[in-house]
Amino acid sequence: MTIDRLSGALLVLLGVFVVWERRVLPLGSSQHPGPGYAPLLLAILLIIFGAILIAGGKGSPPLRSISWPEAPHAAAILACCIFTTILMERIGYRLTIFIILGFLFGVMERMKIWLVFTLAIGFSLGSFWLFDSLLRVPLPRGGWNF
């Protein structure tokens, strides 16, 4: 399997999915196109581009040529993003940022514990002060109002 063939197949699948999901939206007519008109046109275009990629993708590099040396870090950062999305409004900005920075500095980068605490506390409180207190950008304080 080559990179272009896989990406082409994914684009075709996405196009088909949009065509299927679009069925609840009225298509209208060419005189008065409805909300489903543009999604259908775009889905067709996506299927065409995907098909071209599949057809011409024989010479592209194989999928196994992609290297993932940064995968552990990427997974950790991704986990931090998900954690933030789910919990930031519940536990507040400062605590969330303290936890994710503590995790990244301490677990992923294996820094010394005093440095982890200094950086995590400094960044979380400092950025809160800069944005919320100084620039009046409201940041979540969570259930404990912190």
Partner 1 sequence: MEVSFQNLILGFATVLTPTNLLYALLGCLIGTMVGVLPGVGPLAGISMLLPTTFGLDATSAIILLAGIYYGAMYGGSTTSILMRIPGEAASVMTCIDGYAMARKGRAGPALAIAAIGSYAAGTLSVVGLMFLAPPLARFALGFGPPEYCSLLVCGLVVLSYMTGGSIVKNLSMITLGLMIGIIGIDQMSGYFRFSYGLVSLGDGVGVVPVAVGLFGISEILATAGSPDRREVINPRFRDLLPSKQELKDSIGPIGRGTVLGFLIGIIPGSAHIISTFVSYALERRMSKHPERFGEGAIEGVAGPESANNAASTGALVPLLALGVPTGPIPAVLLAALIVHGINPGPLFIKEQPVVFWGLIASMYLGNLVLLLLNLPLVSIFVNLLRVPYRILYPAILMFCVVGVYAVNSSMVDVGIMSVMGILGYLLRKMDFETAPLVLGVVLEPIIEYSFRQALAMSDGAYSIFVLRPISAFFLVVALVMILLGLKPLIKKTKDWRERLTEAERGA
Which residues sit at the interface with partner 1, rule CB under 8 A? 3, 6-7, 11, 14, 18, 21, 25-26, 29-35, 37-39, 42-43, 45-46, 49-50, 52-53, 56, 60, 66, 68-70, 72-74, 77-78, 80-82, 84-85, 88-89, 93, 97, 100-101, 104-105, 108-109, 111, 119, 123-124, 127, 131, 135-140
Considering the complex, state which of residue 69 and residue 114 has its C-beta at the smaller distance from partner 1.
Answer: 69
Considering the complex, state which of residue 138 and residue 145 has its C-beta at the smaller distance from partner 1.
Answer: 138
**CB atoms closer than 10 angstroms to residue 64:** 9
Considering the complex, state which of residue 78 and residue 113 has its C-beta at the smaller distance from partner 1.
Answer: 78
Q: How far is the CB of 81 from partner 1 (least distance, A)?
A: 4
Sign of CA dihedral 75, 77, 83, 85: negative
Q: How far is the CB of 27 from partner 1 (least distance, A)?
A: 12
